Amino acid sequence: MTRKDLPGGDEGPRSSRMDEPAGGGDSSSDEAGEEHSLTWILLAFAAVYLIWGSTYLAIRFAIETIPPLFMASVRFIVAGGAMYAWSTARGAPRPTRRQWGHAAVVGGLLLLGGNGGVVVAEQWIPSGLAALLVAAVPLWMVLVDWAFGSRRRPSARVAVGLVVGFGGVALLAGSPGVTGPDEMFGALLCVGGALAWAMGSIYSRHVVAPPRPRMWVATQMLAGGVLLLPASALAGEMGRIDLGGVSLRSLLALGYLIVFGALVAFSAYIWLLSVSTPARVGTYAYVNPVVALVLGWSLAGEPFTSRSLVAAATILGAVVLVTADRAPSTAGARGVPVVHAGRRRS
26-61 pLDDT, tens per residue? 444 444 455 558 888 999 999 999 999 999 999 999
Q: What per-residue confidence (pLDDT) applies to 172?
A: 78
Residue 328: pLDDT over 70? no
Which sign, positive or negative, has the C-alpha torsion 7, 13, 19, 24?
positive
Nearest to 342 by CA among 14, 56, 40: 56
Residue 337: pLDDT over 80? no
Asked whether residue 279 is domain-assigned, the answer is yes
Top pLDDT among 176 and 19 is at 176
Residue 249: pLDDT over 50? yes
Asked whether residue 74 is domain-assigned, the answer is yes
Q: What per-residue confidence (pLDDT) applies to 141?
A: 86
What is the number of domains present in the chain?
Answer: 1
Asked whether residue 4 is domain-assigned, the answer is no
Residue 343: pLDDT over 50? no
Asked whether residue 189 is domain-assigned, the answer is yes
Asked whether residue 181 is domain-assigned, the answer is yes
Asked whether residue 1 is domain-assigned, the answer is no
- Segment among 84-88, 171-175, 181-185, 294-298 with least mean pLDDT: 171-175
H helix intervals, the chain: 16-19, 27-46, 52-62, 68-89, 97-107, 116-121, 127-134, 137-148, 156-172, 181-204, 213-234, 248-256, 265-275, 278-281, 284-300, 306-325, 341-345
Is the pTM higher than 0.85? no
Q: What per-residue confidence (pLDDT) applies to 283?
A: 80
Asked whether residue 99 is domain-assigned, the answer is yes
Asked whether residue 13 is domain-assigned, the answer is no
Range of the domain at 202: 21-345
> What integer is the mean pLDDT of 162-169?
89
